[in-house]
Amino acid sequence: MRAVKILHCADLHLGARLKNLGSRAAKRQQDYMKTLELIVTVCKEEEIQLLLIAGDLFDSSKQSNELLEEVRALFASIPDTYIAVAPGNHDPATVDSCYEKKGFWSDNVIIFSGEMTDHEIPALGVRLWGAGMTEGYSLKSLFHREQSIREAAAYDDEIQIGVLHGDLISAGGRSEYNPVYKEDIRDCGLQYLALGHIHKRSEPEWEGSCCYAYSGSTEGLGFDETGEKGVYIGLVTKSSCSLSFFPVCQRRFVRCEIDISTVTGTKQAAAFVRSFLQVQQGERFERHLYDIKLKGEQKNIWSFDAAAFLAEFDDVFYMKVREQRQLSCDLEQLADEISLRGIFARRMLLIKDKISKDQFETAVQIGLKAMNGRVDYSEDYET
């Protein structure tokens, strides 16, 4: 049975400014390009016949000529792989975008613009379907030519594959980003629909005879996009679809909570966290980006020094830390002390029933920390 080998990716966001990463932004931008280079290398090594890019290849329609030339050259370097691009809401196919540059892209690149159209690839026995956003918003679904797809599928033995950037929703739902309805997928006649826009990867699912999936973004864009990122690779036939996830990201965003109840100082806390990350993230843990919350009971009185802690991680690409330990104490017992802490404890016990439990506990912790050392207005520290 005839089959086509595909690689499905989306949401590469090349050229993203990443201002939230400060001095690390430029290096992180290079990561995005390295990821595209890896995808192209995989296409060569795995003999990928069809590379599907389901939108937001670029972070915006306005990119430097240098970046555009790099992408053009990479695509041209795999002439045996057909490349289908469906522009998304971040990089719509506007009249002045790179997608509308005549003669710019190599012959193996297919750009979809506007409503759904088809492109026949006789060499692969594939009829490719796609649509491209032409502005940042689209209340109207671009995936509305399913009747034409059904007719094409009914009269020939070509493999029908679609590529689209859109928001998958149920009947009656609304979206500003090209709504794609599951009911339309069910009867569309495609064998596979490659989707982009949602940055979290979905497992391949079936609606009727059509398999569809979000490959997710190829690199996390923030701490709300944690975990491994990558692409789907596999074979599509007229009656089957077999895809496997392939990780390609250069770095991962990692969020973790670490209990440091047993440590007795800032340097010891840093050593404890380093050991924890090496076990959890592997020997090359320092290449990732971390948002760390230090928790636990502060049984031994010592003040956390954020600057000193982060200095122990100067080899880590990016890290921010929040210290949220809870001081362990008996407020009733503390109230018997003839001291400033005793006065504070007695005052707090007087108002205990007048405020919420959360407010009371927060006030107690801030007050005790103030008497044991330093209280920062912000608990977020970055390096």
Residue 379: the pLDDT is: 44
Q: Can you tell me the mean pLDDT for 314-342?
A: 83
329-340: burial string, b at 16+ Cβ within 10 Å, e else: bebeebbeeeee
Domains of the chain by residue range: 4-247, 253-382
Residue 340: the pLDDT is: 86
Handedness of CA 345, 350, 356, 359 (dihedral sign): negative
Which residue is associated with the tokens 């159209």? 117
Q: Can you tell me the mean pLDDT for 128-155?
A: 81
Strand segments (E) across 20-158: 50-53, 82-85, 109-111, 114-121, 126-132
Q: Which amino acid is at 352?
A: K
Flag the least confident range among 274-278, 288-292, 366-370.
366-370
Say whether 341 sits in a helix, a strand or coil: helix
CB 180 within 8 A of CB 141: yes
145 — pLDDT class (breaks 50, 70, 90):
low
Residue 167: the pLDDT is: 96
- Of 194 and 344, more confident: 194
Residue 273: the pLDDT is: 98
The β-bridge partners of 267 are: none
pLDDT > 90? residue 372: no
Handedness of CA 279, 280, 284, 288 (dihedral sign): negative
What phi and psi, each to the nearest 5 degrees, are found at residue 140?
Answer: -90, 135
Report CA-CA distances (Å) from 354 to 42, 170, 349, 365. Answer: 64, 47, 10, 17
Flag the least confident range among 165-169, 227-231, 325-329, 372-376.
372-376
pLDDT > 70? residue 283: yes
Per-residue pLDDT tens for 252-267? 999 999 999 999 899 9
Q: Can you tell me the mean pLDDT for 11-38?
A: 94
Q: Can you tell me the mean pLDDT for 95-108?
A: 95
pLDDT > 90? residue 291: yes
Residue 300: the pLDDT is: 63
Which residue is associated with the tokens 């090496």? 278
Residue 376: the pLDDT is: 52
Q: Can you tell me the mean pLDDT for 243-253?
A: 98
What is the distance of C-alpha 361 from the center of its chain?
Answer: 36
Q: Which fold has domain 4-247?
A: Purple Acid Phosphatase; chain A, domain 2 (3.60.21)
Q: Can you tell me the mean pLDDT for 293-297?
A: 91
pLDDT > 80? residue 109: yes
Handedness of CA 120, 233, 131, 143 (dihedral sign): positive
Residue 148: the pLDDT is: 66
Say whether 38 sits in a helix, a strand or coil: helix
Say whether 255 sits in a helix, a strand or coil: strand
List all residues 6 or more positions away from 122 whose beta carbon is below 8 Å from its beta carbon.
Answer: none
pLDDT > 70? residue 373: no
pLDDT > 60? residue 375: no
What is the distance of C-alpha 144 from the center of its chain?
Answer: 28
- Of 13 and 143, more confident: 13
Cα–Cα dist 306/313, whole Å: 11
Say whether 346 sits in a helix, a strand or coil: helix
> Would you state the structure tokens that stand for residue 15, as one six-digit string?
């050229």
378 — pLDDT class (breaks 50, 70, 90):
very low
Say whether 254 sits in a helix, a strand or coil: strand
Residue 374: the pLDDT is: 54
List all residues 6 or more positions away from 73 whose beta carbon is below 8 Å from its beta carbon.
Answer: none
Flag the least confident range among 66-80, 207-221, 324-338.
324-338
